[in-house]
Amino acid sequence: MSDNSLQQLLQFCARVDTPALVVLDENAGTLPVNPFTDVQVISNRFDVCAEAQRQHWPCTFSDFEFNAHERGNRRVALYRISKEKRVVEHVLQSLWHLLPVGGELYCAGYKNEGIKTFAKRAQEAWSCESILERGERQLHQYRFRKTGSDATALNTSDYHALQAIGTWHGLEVSSKPGIFAWDRFDDGSSFLLQHLPEFLQQTDHTRQCAIDLGCGYGLLALALVQAGCKRVVATDNNAAAVRACDYNLQRHAGACEVSVVTADCADSIKDRFDLLLCNPPFHQGFDVEQDLTDRFLQATRRLLSPRGRALFVVNTFIPIERKAALLFTKVQTVANNGRFKLLQLQQA
């Protein structure tokens, strides 16, 4: 489904001559070259922020921390709703708090993404009217005008608080909203970790450097630390993931050298690694995006040392073998449980 919700929202900026704030998540779509003089962008995705800056939009990268944007400084806010409920609630109530009386909030999303429910809850919590504009393919755009300062919170929990979600072999693991599978141990990662010991037994991993590509809150990186790898690097482009992963690794690093790098598919990392673990995303926002798997495979080829090995876990319906065979001399399916498959990749 074509997503033109951001383009529709930006049309509101063209109607008003006032400072505006645009909130972008991973499903932001394509930004045009910035035609405005006083529009600020904030994004929780490093790649989205970098692309916005290339298109001459002033953009702040953070886990949707709005305290840097002075209250009342922006009279219009625009938000294409995110995929996760907790993120949407946090962003909406933060924007409402930032807007001055008389300010306007525009949000957009498709009907099957829950936009109607969010809009109804917001209208009740803020005691305000909303104006709905319907677009193509069930695109809904809502306009809220702030008439008073009183408001009920859409969610009273602390979005930024790290929470313990369980223990992995005695190590407490913490996470937060805004990360894929943030409140549990993902089934795909758990499947990979079941087979990690036999993967590590093939070499003396205690003398090797390893990387967790697309680390999330860092479960795979923690397993590499616990296994005794000499050095472990984790990387992600999600601000929430980077913060949670860094917290988990710093707590449990021990003698292992650890670091967490904010990057778009590890594009800023120049080192080579003996071991690489990856549970790659195949969704971007609400849509399945096969190109993401290609990008993670290409990054893996660049990151591996000449005799390095990678272990990928993906859903069985993703045709990763054919794509990997174009980049690696060895592509071996080492496990398949009907839902996930585990592939070992090598250059030699």
Q: Each residue's pLDDT tens digit in the chain (348 positions)?
A: 346 788 888 888 777 778 899 999 987 677 889 888 889 999 999 999 999 999 999 999 999 999 766 666 889 999 999 989 999 999 999 999 999 999 999 999 999 999 999 999 999 999 998 999 888 888 999 999 999 888 899 999 999 999 999 999 999 999 999 999 999 999 999 999 999 999 999 888 888 999 999 999 999 999 999 999 999 999 999 999 999 999 999 999 999 999 999 999 999 999 999 999 999 986 444 344 457 788 999 999 999 999 999 999 999 998 899 999 999 999 999 999 999 999 999 986
User: Which of 119, 145, 171 is a domain's end point?
Assistant: 145
Residue 158 forms part of a structural domain: no
**Cross-strand pairs, 105:** 77, 144
Question: What end-to-end distance do the CA atoms of the chain give, in Å?
Answer: 41
**Considering its fold, how many domains does the chain have in total?**
2
pTM of this prediction?
A: 0.93
- Say if residue 85 is in the same domain as residue 14: yes
What is the CATH classification number for the domain harbouring 63? 3.40.50.150
**Residue 22: its H or E element:** strand 20-24
Quote the CA–CA distance of 50 and 69 in Å, as a whole number: 19
Residue 153 forms part of a structural domain: no
**Cross-strand pairs, 310:** 276, 345
- Say if residue 87 is in the same domain as residue 126: yes
Tokens of 195: 């087979």
- Say if residue 109 is in the same domain as residue 220: no
Neighbours of 224 (CB within 10 A): 28
For residue 56, the enclosing domain spans 5-145
Pairing of strands 231-236, 209-213: parallel
Residue 70 forms part of a structural domain: yes
